[in-house]
Amino acid sequence: MPDWNLLISERIGTLALSRQVRDEVVAELATHLEELYQACRARGANESQAIEIALSQAADWQALGSEISDAKNEENGMNDRSKQFWLPGLVTLTASMLWLMMLERWDWRPHTAFANGSPPLMPYLIWLVTQPVFGAAGAYWSRRNGGSRLVRIAAGIFPSIAMLGLLLFITFTGFFVERNPFLWKHPAFFALVVFPWAIFPAIALLLGVLPFLKVANPRQS
């Protein structure tokens, strides 16, 4: 039996699509040709005739590849990377930051006998323990749009990635552009900030992402 995936891959060339989407397209076209091949065989064609008929379904495979890329990338101007990573990631970041702002604005403290002794970090702690929800939302959204495992993780922990980038930028400019004396006196300051604002949230976000890593290829579910 012909290896339709291979035959199509050889003919269609590289598409302007992610590897995953390209593989899906090739698999789908291969299924179509396999069905056609089987139908031709059932009608009495020999193997080489059936293969020839199947492959004649596209006069120009390269042109078909371009047309499929155009059709797949049309998507109202939004490509796969935007749908699978940037959009879920940015929305997760925005939601997570808005939630932190709301908590700080409310200055939420437990109204208990221990209220006076409640730690000032309460808004932060509440924010931290709720991060799995944001991670889950980002990963779910990315998975829904066909994101690979790696992309789902990246989209889910995007708030921490952005925060890490911001902290690196601030620290770098503080050290080398502004030559901030505080930073030069306390070089460990970066580590003190990066753990509560990037590393711990990343772990919390990742906890939320985990349940959405089970299916390897959501478009094949």
Q: Are 198 and 163 in contact (CB under 8 A)?
A: yes
Measured from the CB atom, is 12 or 151 closer to another protein? 12
Measured from the CB atom, is 101 or 216 closer to another protein? 216
DSSP 8-state assignment for residue 76: G
Measured from the CB atom, is 56 or 112 closer to another protein? 56
CB of 216: closest distance to another protein in angstroms?
Answer: 12
φ, ψ of residue 60 to 5 degrees: the values are -130, 100
Measured from the CB atom, is 72 or 158 closer to another protein? 72
- Name the one residue in this structure whose structure tokens are 């990343």: 202
Q: Are 156 and 212 in contact (CB under 8 A)?
A: yes
Q: Are 22 and 8 in contact (CB under 8 A)?
A: no
- The residues of the shown chain that bind another protein, judged by CB under 8 A, are 24-25, 27-29, 31-36, 57-60, 63-64, 67-68, 70-72, 74-76, 219-221
Measured from the CB atom, is 63 or 102 closer to another protein? 63
Measured from the CB atom, is 123 or 146 closer to another protein? 146
CB of 143: closest distance to another protein in angstroms?
Answer: 14
- Name the one residue in this structure whose structure tokens are 């940015």: 90
Rounded CA-CA distance 79/220 in Å is: 19
Rounded CA-CA distance 1/147 in Å is: 32
CB of 45: closest distance to another protein in angstroms?
Answer: 16
Rounded CA-CA distance 79/77 in Å is: 7
- Name the one residue in this structure whose structure tokens are 């939302």: 137
CB of 78: closest distance to another protein in angstroms?
Answer: 9
CB of 28: closest distance to another protein in angstroms?
Answer: 5
Amino acid 144 reads R
CB of 104: closest distance to another protein in angstroms?
Answer: 39
